[in-house]
């Protein structure tokens, strides 16, 4: 890592589940949504239907190529995953899948929130003269509104959304573009995010410092056991301690 006396010139930061709570509580969200629709589930118990949908989801998203296509067509993808899950427990109801998909999306939207200290951290980093980019995968129609809703867009020098840019993490083009945009050497850049491959291992292959932001306190999954983050933080505000900055620096 760079010594504290030479802080990064640019910090690239993931959005979902790094700055805002977005997708990590899927188990809890499905439990709540299915309980509200229990009367549509025939004889199936909510936990069984939930587990079937979550297993269908796990299988779908485990393939990187499918993941890329699926996240850019997210509404259709979620409906298809729900249909798969429902059919596993003998519920072949396309209308129910659409209905649950809409309800799940609305439920998750309502539950989204900014993590504490994010605005203060970004403002302190900017006040210290560090260039900031938000780097998020997915379509503009889902990611842009979140940047506006949580008052994040104006806090960044550069916004990179996968669909708009034409490539997403962990593709090399993303990191090459970020380094060129800020005109920095990889040793002068940090990437921060909750995904150990996309935001730690991938940028490290370019020489960028990879920081794992483990807000939800997850264990390292077996398939990422080989990844060695340069730092692990439990929330974005811990960047300030790594850099020897204080939140009040924003007022300086
Ligand atoms: Mg994320």
Domain span at residue 210? 10-21+113-251
Q: What is the mean pLDDT of residues 199-204?
A: 98
Is residue 67 domain-resident? Answer: yes
* pLDDT value, residue 248: 64
pLDDT in tens, 134-148: 999 999 999 999 999
Q: How far is the CA of 117 from the centre of ligand 1 (A)?
A: 17
Do 102 and 120 belong to one domain?
no
Tell which of 87, 111, 135 closes a domain: 111
Q: How many domains does the chain have?
A: 2
Mark the residues whose beta carbon lies below 5 A from ion ligand 1. 14, 16-17, 194
pLDDT at 5 over 80: no
Is residue 173 domain-resident? Answer: yes
Indicate the pLDDT class of residue 251, thresholds 50, 70 and 90.
very low
Indicate the pLDDT class of residue 22, thresholds 50, 70 and 90.
confident
CATH code, domain with 187: 3.40.50.1000
Do 164 and 195 belong to one domain?
yes
Q: How far is the CA of 124 from the centre of ligand 1 (A)?
A: 22
**What pTM was estimated for this model as a whole?**
0.90
Q: How far is the CA of 4 from the centre of ligand 1 (A)?
A: 26
Q: How far is the CA of 71 from the centre of ligand 1 (A)?
A: 13
* pLDDT value, residue 246: 78
Is residue 143 domain-resident? Answer: yes
pLDDT in tens, 83-121: 999 999 999 888 999 999 999 999 999 999 999 999 999
Q: How far is the CA of 92 from the centre of ligand 1 (A)?
A: 32
Q: What is the mean pLDDT of residues 48-69?
A: 94
Do 132 and 156 belong to one domain?
yes
* pLDDT value, residue 249: 53
Do 212 and 155 belong to one domain?
yes
> Which residue pairs from 208-216 have beta carbons closer than 8 angstroms and sit at least 24 positions apart in sequence?
208/12, 208/175, 208/179, 209/1, 209/2, 209/8, 211/239, 211/242, 213/14, 213/18, 215/17, 215/18, 215/21, 215/24, 215/115, 216/17, 216/24, 216/25
Q: What is the mean pLDDT of residues 28-46?
A: 93
Q: What is the mean pLDDT of residues 125-141?
A: 97
Do 216 and 123 belong to one domain?
yes
Q: How far is the CA of 25 from the centre of ligand 1 (A)?
A: 13
* pLDDT value, residue 6: 63
Is residue 3 domain-resident? Answer: no
Helix 46-61 / helix 26-36 crossing angle, nearest 10 deg: 140
Do 100 and 131 belong to one domain?
no
Do 80 and 127 belong to one domain?
no
- Please give the angle made by the CA atoms of 22, 25 and 30, to the nearest 5 degrees: 110
């Amino acid at each position: 890592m760079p010594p504290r006396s030479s802080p990064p010139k640019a910090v690239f930061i993931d959005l979902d589940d790094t700055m805002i709570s977005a997708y990590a509580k899927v188990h809890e969200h499905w439990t709540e949504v299915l309980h509200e629709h229990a009367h549509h589930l025939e004889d199936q118990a909510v936990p069984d239907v939930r587990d079937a949908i979550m297993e269908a989801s796990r299988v779908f998203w485990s393939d990187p190529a499918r993941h890329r296509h699926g996240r850019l067509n997210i509404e259709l993808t979620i409906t298809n995953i729900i249909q798969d899950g429902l059919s596993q427990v003998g519920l072949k109801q396309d209308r129910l899948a659409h209905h649950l998909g809409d309800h799940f999306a609305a439920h998750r939207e309502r539950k989204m929130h900014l993590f504490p200290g994010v605005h203060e951290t970004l403002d302190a980093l900017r006040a210290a003269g560090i260039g900031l980019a938000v780097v998020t995968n997915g379509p503009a129609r889902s990611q842009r509104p979140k940047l506006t809703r949580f008052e994040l867009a104006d806090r960044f020098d550069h916004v990179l959304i996968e669909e708009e840019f034409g490539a997403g993490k962990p593709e090399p083009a993303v990191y090459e573009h970020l380094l060129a945009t800020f005109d920095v050497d990889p040793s002068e850049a940090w990437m921060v995010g909750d995904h150990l491959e996309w935001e730690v291992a991938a940028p490290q292959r370019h020489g960028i410092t990879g920081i794992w932001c483990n807000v939800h306190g997850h264990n390292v999954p077996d398939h990422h056991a080989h990844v060695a983050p340069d730092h692990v933080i439990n929330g974005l505000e811990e960047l300030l301690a790594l850099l020897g900055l204080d939140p009040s620096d924003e007022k300086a």
